[in-house]
Structures are given as structure tokens and as C-alpha cells.
Amino acid sequence: MENKKLRIKAETDSLVIGGLSISFERTLRIPDDDQVYPLPPSLGSFFIYKVEDYLDKVPEKWRELGGYFIGMYQREALWLNFSGSPHALIVDAGNINAITGNEKEDLLNDADQNYIVPPDQPWLDGFNAGEGFIRQFVAMPIGLGYTVEEQLSQTEALGGMRFVVFAPKPDIIPEYSPLLKSSVMECSLNDSMGLAAGGKMKQEIYPDEYGIDVWDSESKTEIYIHVANSQQFSEITGRNLMPSPVDADAYTNNGYPWFDLYNENKGDVKAAQKLSGVKSIKAVDEELGEISNEPSLNIPDSQIVTITGKKKV
């Protein structure tokens, strides 16, 4: 039988799987309060490293799973940026599907859509935890109950992210022009880092407009992306992480833009009940006796820029 697995290639700051390119964008961590915030900018892409190049230094679990890794500070946020041609993509935070909250789904499900279709879905900033909003992806150590995976998984937490990618069947989707990336700028108790639920952000998860029959199940390709904390990253690579991004309050006070995506009524996949009930970082902090003094943000309308797929408005 012909091997239809997709070719995987790691650029310095992006991962190319078949015809789909994924980058991991450093960004502002929005406040974990009751407000729903606009989309924060990119502050540059995380560099991507191949596990195979550091086999004598990475954790045993990483050697077993293979894949790639990035380095993040504790409580640092990221979002996923997509370009290239349409593919079906399952995004797991460790073992937990970021769209449904279910554990390690390997097959596409159109009855309760458990995947996205980038780059029609141009970005994914977090967990599908509410109607019209997500909860931001924020790196936290495994072991204290912060990560969504620890709260929902019945198995040992893996940390990091897992992608399962499906290419379209031949000659169905015409040549595609990638969407424009919207950007304004191009230590933990446990070595393992996973993704926790941060603040609320306005973002829809678009329904699959092509239909599940378009995607080639034989092309299914699985990739693991591990997350190293700052100390672990230095020990593995011999490099230091870039300084952590400016905080959201300082960014806003200096008049820089936030974003709102004009989506032309593409619809919104139903929020996942499992994910709507996960504890946010602030909630776990309070359980552990940590008091958050993080202020809410007041973002003037004049600083919110509406963008479409191809240009800024």
C-alpha cells in the first residue's frame, strides 16, 4: 500500500506538514478575569528544535515520542499561526483535544467537530471553552493541577502539544493563497510543561466548510511538540531563552494595537462542555493560596484594529 504520510520539515520558526505551515507565536498574556479580550499580537515566533538532535539531553519521554520542542517561560502565552493549503488538524494539549476536551482523539469526527481546518481557521489562541471565546494557551508546570490535561485526562500527563494532520484528497481543493499573518512585531517544580487555561479571548472555531469526506484518512500524520521551561531549555540547547515579552498593561498603555478578526459569518463550533468547566490559572492559584494582583485591562476602541484574511482594515 502506498505510504501517504505527510512530509514534516522544521524551519527555524515554523513546522511544515504536507502543505500546511504552523508557527508558534509569542504573545501577551491577557488578564484572567471575567472580561473577553480582543486578539493580542505576535511578538515573534518561538524557535523550533528537533528532539532527534538532542537525544543525549532530552527527557526519556521525549525520546520515546520523538517530534520537536520549543522553550517557554512559566506563565508565558502562545498562539498558533497557520498558512499554506487547507488541511484538517486535530490539536491536543498533551492528551486533551483543545476543541472538544476529549482525551486523545485520533480520528476526525464531524458530528461533534473535533478538528479545525487551517488556514481557513487562521489562528488558534486557546481552548474552545465558551460561546464566541477561547481560554488562552499558557505554559504551566505539570504537577500542581494547573494544566487542562491534568484536570481532564485519565492517564499520565504528557505536557506539550500533539498535532494530527490530514491532507485533502487529490484534486478536490483548488490552489490556495495563504492568509496574512497579523503581527505588529516579528521555573517550575517539574521539568515538564503543559498548557493551562488563561484569560478569555474573542475567537470563533470555524465549522469545516468542505465536509469530512474531503480529508484523506490514509494521510494521517502525528507530531509531538514538547515544551521546555527556561532552565531545561538552557540545559538541553546550551542557549538562553529570549527575554519574556512586555506585559499586556504596558503594551496597551503605549498605544499599540490589538486585533479583531472580521470573519464574514463563518459560524462557530459549539463550545465544549468539558473545557468550559476547567479551572483557569487564577482559580488554581486561589486554591493554592496564591493571591493574584493582576489588574484588568481597559483597551480603548481606537486601539482595536479589525482585520480580514488578506489585509488590515
Amino acid 309: pLDDT: 55
Neighbouring residues of 137: CB distance < 8 A, sequence distance ≥ 6 = 77, 78, 79, 80, 93, 98, 125, 126, 127, 195, 198
Amino acid 310: pLDDT: 40
Is the confidence at residue 313, as pLDDT, over 70? Answer: no
- How many separate helices (H) and strands (E) can be counted in the chain? 6, 17
Is the confidence at residue 177, as pLDDT, over 60? Answer: no
Q: How many domains does the chain have?
A: 1
Is the confidence at residue 184, as pLDDT, over 60? Answer: no
Q: Which residues partner with 1 through β-bridges?
A: none
d(CA 311, CA 276): 32
d(CA 116, CA 98): 10
d(CA 272, CA 276): 6
* Domain span holding position 130: 8-307
In a domain, 1, yes or no: no
| Cα angle for residues 133, 37, 281 (degrees, 5° grid) | 75
Q: What are 231-247's pLDDT values in tens digits?
A: 999 999 999 998 877 78
Amino acid 187: pLDDT: 38
Amino acid 188: pLDDT: 40
Q: What are 163-176's pLDDT values in tens digits?
A: 999 999 988 886 55
Average pLDDT in the 113-131 region? 95
In a domain, 27, yes or no: yes
In a domain, 312, yes or no: no
Q: What are 263-296's pLDDT values in tens digits?
A: 767 889 999 999 999 999 999 999 998 877 778 8
Mean pLDDT, rounded, of the chain: 89
In a domain, 269, yes or no: yes
Amino acid 169: pLDDT: 94
In a domain, 176, yes or no: yes
Q: What are 24-76's pLDDT values in tens digits?
A: 999 999 999 989 999 999 999 999 999 999 999 999 999 999 999 999 999 99
In a domain, 119, yes or no: yes
- Say what percent of the chain tops pLDDT 90: 72
Amino acid 191: pLDDT: 65
Q: What are 127-145's pLDDT values in tens digits?
A: 999 999 999 999 999 999 9
What cell numbers appear for 160 in the block?
506539550
In a domain, 47, yes or no: yes
Q: C-alpha distances in angstroms, 252 versus 33, 189, 216, 246, 256?
A: 17, 32, 44, 10, 6
Amino acid 311: pLDDT: 29
In a domain, 2, yes or no: no
**Residue whose cell numbers read 483543545:** 98
Q: For residue 305, give the nearest of 253, 269, 262 by alpha carbon.
A: 262
Is the confidence at residue 117, as pLDDT, over 80? Answer: yes
Is the confidence at residue 307, as pLDDT, over 90? Answer: no
**Predicted TM-score (pTM) of this structure:** 0.91
What SS3 state is found at 168?
strand
